[in-house]
Amino acid sequence: MNGDSAVREDPATAIELTPITDQDIAEVADFLCTKLNSEVPWARSCVQPWRVDAPNHGFMLRDGQRVVGVQLAFYSERLVTGCAERFCNLGAWNVLPEFRFHSLRLMMAVLAQGSHHFTSFTPKDGTGAILARLKFRPLDTSAALVPNLPWPTPPGRTRISDEPDVIEKTLTGAELELYRDHAQALAVHHHVLIRGQDSCYIMYREARSRGLLCAVLLHVSNPDLFHRALLPLTRHLLLRHRLVATLGELRIIEHRPCLSVKRNVGPKMYRSASLAPGQIDDLYSELVCVWSNPRAADGAGGLQLLEHRQGGRAPWPAPAASSAVPGGLG
């Protein structure tokens, strides 16, 4: 070897990979606002509102002092069949094109935290192929789209409320805990249906499907009452909230209502050594945290709910950037 030869730095280690801490949120939010979606209030969307001992908010790449890549993560601890289980939901995955080689370092850093069950609720086709290689499995996202029409309904039979005091007084136990954990989440709305002694807690986010402003159900505590009270609920969502349709995955609402249209929403995936698909839901995730205005005048913003289409396979490593909201991988 020539004695005066310079020592070359390994390009795989020249870019620093670090956890995202509370102190990094403002810088990460600025990166995502500039490079991914300027309509999202990232500084608030990056941080889950529920209490959890989270190890980080995901991971980021730095080139010197500059942020060049981000993988958000949302953590939670939940009771599943009486056992405490730790979850990690993968959020926005965005890397500048010139640093694409390092994309998988972000993903692998999150997955190296092996004590969690992992979910990804907004992967595109190309990223889905990458996740499949990493032992993620698809969830069944078969859904039903129900038109919200001004049906005549008997007065007083079903009470529908989004008032926090009414929700607090109606819910008990685990459902009340779910509500309190998500009450400050930016992207979701909360309603209770009350009929006699029965109640149903509904959580949904607003989004567009084929240009239509819809209520996208994320949680339905009592599917039986939901179906019995569907007409007054859809009327309420139309007249009070100007939502023209309601979209519900069958794993949430159990079966298709009458007068509904079949839909397959975008792919959702999970990786777990012990949990079954039926034990995975959409809560405590980017779907409840990451908000962008679906009521924007130009129709932009919000989660675009498209039917899943098989697309071309993305090159390895991961795609450089994503434009999906919320977050989105791919």
Question: What CATH number corresponds to the domain at position 129?
Answer: 3.40.630.30
* pLDDT for position 60: 98
The answer to whether residue 315 sits within a structural domain is no
Q: Is residue 287 part of a domain?
A: yes
In a domain, 301, yes or no: no
Both 229 and 239 in one domain: the answer is yes
- Low pLDDT (below 50) residues in the chain: 1-10, 299-330
Phi, psi of 101 (to 5 degrees): -55, -25
Q: Does residue 235 share a domain with residue 197?
A: yes
Cβ contact 95:106 at 8 Å: yes
99 lies in the same domain as 193: no
Q: Are residues 43 and 184 in the same domain?
A: no
- Same domain, residue pair 159 and 258: yes
Residue 2 lies in a domain: no
Please, which contacts does 32-37 make with residues 24 or more away whose CB atoms are closer than 8 Å?
32/70, 32/92, 32/94, 35/94, 35/96, 35/321, 36/92, 36/94, 36/321, 36/322, 36/323, 37/292, 37/323, 37/325
Same domain, 136 and 150: no
Residue 309, domain member (yes or no): no
pLDDT at 151: 87
Domain count, the chain: 2
Residue 149: what pLDDT? 95
- 171 plus 253 within the same structural domain: yes
Q: Report how far residue 320's alpha carbon sits from residue 330's, in angstroms, rounded to the nearest whole number.
A: 8
Shared domain for 166 and 248, answered yes or no, is yes
Q: Tell me whether residue 6 is in a domain.
A: no
* pLDDT recorded at residue 184: 97
**116/163 same-domain check:** no
Largest interatomic CA distance in the chain: 91
Range of the domain at 195: 142-264
Report if residue 321 sits inside a domain. Answer: no
User: Which of 177, 203, 181 lies closest to 192 in space, CA to CA?
Assistant: 203
> Is residue 107 domain-resident?
yes
Co-location of 130 and 178 in the same domain: no
According to the model, what pLDDT value does residue 11 have?
Answer: 53
Looking at the structure, do residues 44 and 135 belong to the same domain, yes or no? yes
Q: Check whether residue 75 and residue 168 sit in a common domain.
A: no
Tokens (6 digits) for 219: 């949680």
